[in-house]
Structure 1
Amino acid sequence: MHVLTTVVGKRTEHWTDLFDVLCEQPDVTLTVLAADVSPVTRRELARLARVHPRLRYHVVPHLLGEGRTGHMASVLFRLPAGHDVTATRPDILHVIGEAAYLSTWQTLRLRRRCWAGVPTTLYAAQNVVTRFPVPFPRIERQSYLAVNHAFPVTPAALNVLRIKGYHGPATIVPLGTDTRVFRPMVTGMADRRFTVGFVGRFEPHKGVADLLRAAELIDCDVLLVGDGSLTSEVERAAMRRPGRVVRHRWVGHDELPVLLNGMDVLVMPSVEVVQRNVVPWIGIPLREQFGRVLVEAMACGVPVVGSDVGEIPYVVGDAGLIFPAGDVPALAARLARLRDEPALTADLGARGLRRAGAEFGWDRVADTLCTVWRDLRVPTRSPQTPPTEAGHTTREAIAR
């Protein structure tokens, strides 16, 4: 089964973990078409191509791009005429990108011109119903008509698809983690002070300032991994509390598990904001669409605390604690409870470890994707054919 998948944008490193696992499926040959991706993604694709003979990849030039507009929706492939990605007809076309993305429109146009009739599946993570400016709504409608099966990452993402007009089959498939890499480790720091961790962008909507204030209220250590516009605020906090606030720059997958295992709890204190990076007169609510680092921490046996924004409560489940977004005293109370109740901390860590392995491992995700793809190879279903009522239960079940 030859699967051709497209992926665009700077924050694409985690998809290479999925590609790695997909290539371990005995019947899968994978071709990756990428644009405007990070240097880390390029290096990982090159490494995977050396490891897996059945993986090919093409990082092609792009027009516009996330760097100019601030949004992945604007990325356009610049595929040279006669590029050899079109030479071989795939069995499945999988688009990692929302229905309204320009790259999705390009990919579906390429299918019409070069691989007419190839079954197509679409990743979807939008958890807010957003009305985009012209020409994005038309692209979105056309995409929904062309897609044979959708893979929303959460129930909220599935609900957005339905509200916006996608009526075809769908299977909820969460973002995953490589449980072979992210796992509990002995760090040799058993006598350290209680340490609260954060991994992500240092931006206002990530709640970094709230975390720093809460940690200071209960006098605990903080380990932050990342970068962003609030880096200077993080550095000021480190100067104010020397040795108690430590910051690491972005690290790769080989280093992040060690840092996660050095935390007593990982916090995702996000708040909801309105962004205006498509056009200034249209505000787009920005809520956490998933929170992949929560799963990575759970896979390491680290308990998690998250705000009640977006999909954080769905991902956390019973493996952590939730607090009202922006409520610093409430966050401090949750952290103090974990510090003072070791039995609770150990129980939540064990719950997270089980949850990560049972629901969020990339191997589970790959199995679900491949099951749907193998079924789609049988030409019995057309795009936008609503499933039977009995079929809803299976196709819209959470991949477990």
Structure 2
Amino acid sequence: MLILQVCADQGIAPGGTKGASVHLRHVAGALGNRGHRVVTVAKREPVYVNPHPAPVRSLDRGLLAAVREFGLPNLVYERYSLGHTAALEFAHGHDLPFVLEVNSPLTVEALTQRHAPVGFAEHAAEERLFREADSVVVVSRPLADYVERLRGRSDGIVVVPNGVDPAAFPITAAHTGGSTLAFLGHPKPWHGVSRLADVVAAVASRHPAVSIVVIGGGLGVGELMHRARATGVDDRITVTGPLGENGVATILFDSAVGVAPYPPNDFFYFSPLKVVEYMMAGLPVVASAVGDVAATVGDGGFVVDPADDDALASAVSLLLHDPNLRRRLGGIGRRRALAEFTWDRVASQIEQAASALVGGSR
């Protein structure tokens, strides 16, 4: 099957390090590994931190330019981008099945998190895409409920949580006595990363070597560092900046606990890549009980009340105190990730949804 993967989001660079770029790359790669030909058509020019596994062509040149070069696809598969309906219209115009991948409710996100203006056109485009897509792939149950309300029906909605590449983590965390807490990603307001300064301050008396490594960077680090200076723990924080997969795996191998300290959120629609990557690396997870996070972590760590900083610190302290417990929970998480959260599993679920639309051809 020839699949045209479309991404009209200017903020998502094929080959980049942010979570959306990781997702774009691995969906393309996993579908390719299952025998499909994938061509990615993107608004943003590619970068080469992590090479994209499919040919990348510019969306500015139009979808027809890609078709002239590679042939008419069997499927148009678009990562939902705010206000973009051209891929849907292209698919309809050429009598092709259209699958929409929805990673977040972009109109809600733009208003509540990015404080960006969203008008009637963007809302209308979102509802149209949800209603007219032949199938909608979403990353979480809360997001499925959101799509269903606008789509007006549940048929064609498939929940496919994010995955991780086992090959990127050939060895698992050593658990040899270190006291480093790992946060993977470029901090955003909804990550709650500044809370980690208080966690470190709370457990430092019992674990004098405790530290944090932020595997990423960006403007969001400033809030964490501000809080760290206020609590006197700024010397315990390391920020790596963007890293490729090998660099990420190396740091997780040397860490003790993977943390995801999300604040309270009544509509947590994410499927956090960081959580499944911690699990694949053999790290026990300490995370907030929001959205589908508890269902993802299972018995691979501790999930606590998102409003309870003391519970967060207590869970971290317990794990730092007991390397055998870290090893046991990390092993449970690793096995769970291998069974349920690989990119091949993601691709197989997408393939299943697509095959029903294109008659199972490849």
Superposed pair shares fold, TM > 0.5: yes
Match of 2:16 in 1: none
| Letter aligned with residue 40 of structure 2 | V
The partner residue of 2:51 within 44, 52, 55 is 44
Supply the distance in 2 between the matched residues of 1:198 and 1:4 (Cα, whole angstroms). Answer: 34
Paired residues for 1:1-400 under 5 Å: 1-7=1-7, 8=9, 9-10=11-12, 11-26=20-35, 28-36=36-44, 39-40=47-48, 44-45=51-52, 48=53, 55-60=54-59, 78-80=60-62, 83-85=65-67, 88-97=71-80, 101-103=82-84, 105-113=85-93, 115=94, 117-126=95-104, 130=108, 133-167=119-153, 168-185=155-172, 190-192=176-178, 194-219=179-204, 220-232=210-222, 234-235=224-225, 237=228, 240-241=232-233, 244-272=236-264, 287=268, 289-378=270-359
Supply the distance in 2 between the matched residues of 1:40 and 1:330 (Cα, whole angstroms). Answer: 40
Shift of 1:231: 3.0
Shift of 1:82: 5.7
Q: Unaligned 5+ residue runs, structure 2? A: 13-19, 112-117, 205-209
Supply the distance in 1 between the matched residues of 2:336 and 2:125 (Cα, whole angstroms). Answer: 37
Change (3 A) 1:342 1:357: same
Shift of 1:81: 9.0
Change (3 A) 1:155 1:191: closer
Aligned residues: 334
Change (3 A) 1:272 1:127: farther
Change (3 A) 1:80 1:363: closer
Q: Deviations over 1:335-365 (max 9, x none)?
A: 1111223343222111110111111101111
Supply the distance in 1 between the matched residues of 2:98 and 2:294 (Cα, whole angstroms). Answer: 31
Change (3 A) 1:234 1:81: closer
Supply the distance in 1 between the matched residues of 2:214 and 2:325 (Cα, whole angstroms). Answer: 23
Shift of 1:234: 4.5
Change (3 A) 1:79 1:329: same
Shift of 1:316: 1.9
Q: Deviations over 1:355-400 (max 9, x none)?
A: 1111110111112222222221129xxxxxxxxxxxxxxxxxxxxx
- Whether contact under 8 Å (2:218, 2:241) holds in the other structure is no
Shift of 1:144: 2.8
- Whether contact under 8 Å (1:267, 1:304) holds in the other structure is yes
Change (3 A) 1:232 1:5: closer
Moved more, 216-225 or 165-174: 165-174
Change (3 A) 1:122 1:348: same
Q: Normalized per residue, which structure has more helix?
A: 2
Supply the distance in 1 between the matched residues of 2:260 and 2:302 (Cα, whole angstroms). Answer: 11
- Whether contact under 8 Å (1:129, 1:164) holds in the other structure is no
When the two chains are superposed, the root-mean-square deviation of aligned CA atoms in Å is 2.9
- Whether contact under 8 Å (1:211, 1:328) holds in the other structure is no
SS where residue 3 of structure 2 aligns?
Answer: strand
| Letter aligned with residue 47 of structure 2 | P
Supply the distance in 1 between the matched residues of 2:315 and 2:45 (Cα, whole angstroms). Answer: 37
- Whether contact under 8 Å (2:41, 2:66) holds in the other structure is no
| Letter aligned with residue 153 of structure 1 | V
Supply the distance in 2 between the matched residues of 1:102 and 1:257 (Cα, whole angstroms). Answer: 36
Change (3 A) 1:272 1:107: farther
Supply the distance in 1 between the matched residues of 2:254 and 2:315 (Cα, whole angstroms). Answer: 19
Q: Deviations over 1:69-91 (max 9, x none)?
A: xxxxxxxxx33596243562211
Shift of 1:267: 0.5
SS where residue 31 of structure 1 aligns?
Answer: strand
Shift of 1:179: 0.9
Moved more, 86-95 or 209-218: 86-95
Shift of 1:209: 1.6
SS where residue 171 of structure 1 aligns?
Answer: strand
Moved more, 259-268 or 125-134: 125-134
Q: Deviations over 1:40-67 (max 9, x none)?
A: 47x623xx3xxxxxx432134xxxxxxx
Shift of 1:35: 1.1
Supply the distance in 2 between the matched residues of 1:138 and 1:157 (Cα, whole angstroms). Answer: 18
Shift of 1:235: 4.7
